[in-house]
């Protein structure tokens, strides 16, 4: 009758689905369960990735600050410190990096 009316109706119905009221073994119920599971895995993965980034930056700062004492690494330390602060990291290396920069001024 109207072009696209069936698609619009199906989309409207799908938007109002309550996943907890679907039959347990239905395809749509499995779809919602899989989507929820993928979301949870993605959250865990994102958290681990952020932790890995923080650890990598911390190790880089440690090697810059305590490695070669003869070379001034202030610019690199400032760069790594900015990256670490963007990740909302709270650790001892931040204070050490700030002291390093303070001592080099």
12 lies in a domain?
no
Any idea of the CA torsion for 33, 35, 41, 47, to the nearest 10 degrees? -130
100 lies in a domain?
yes
Any idea of the CA torsion for 46, 56, 89, 44, to the nearest 10 degrees? 20
Per residue in 14-56, pLDDT tens?
888 888 888 888 898 898 899 999 999 999 999 999 999 999 9
17 lies in a domain?
no
55 lies in a domain?
yes
State which H helix or E strand residue 44 sits in: helix 27-66
Per residue in 53-93, pLDDT tens?
999 999 999 999 998 888 899 999 999 999 999 988 888 99
Cα–Cα distance measured from residue 65 to residue 82, given in angstroms and rounded to the nearest whole number? 15
9 lies in a domain?
no
> Domain range spanning residue 103?
44-105
Domain count, the chain: 1
């Amino acid at each position: 009758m109207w072009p696209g009316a069936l698609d619009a109706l199906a989309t409207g119905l799908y938007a109002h689905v309550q996943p907890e009221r679907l039959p347990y073994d239905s395809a749509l119920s499995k779809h919602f369960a899989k989507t929820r599971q993928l979301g949870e895995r993605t959250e865990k993965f994102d958290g681990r990735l952020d932790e890995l980034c923080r650890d990598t930056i911390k190790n880089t700062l440690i090697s810059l600050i305590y490695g070669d004492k003869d070379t001034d690494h202030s610019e690199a330390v400032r760069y790594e410190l900015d990256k670490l602060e963007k990740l909302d990291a709270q650790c001892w290396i931040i204070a050490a990096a700030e002291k390093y920069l303070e001592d080099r001024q």
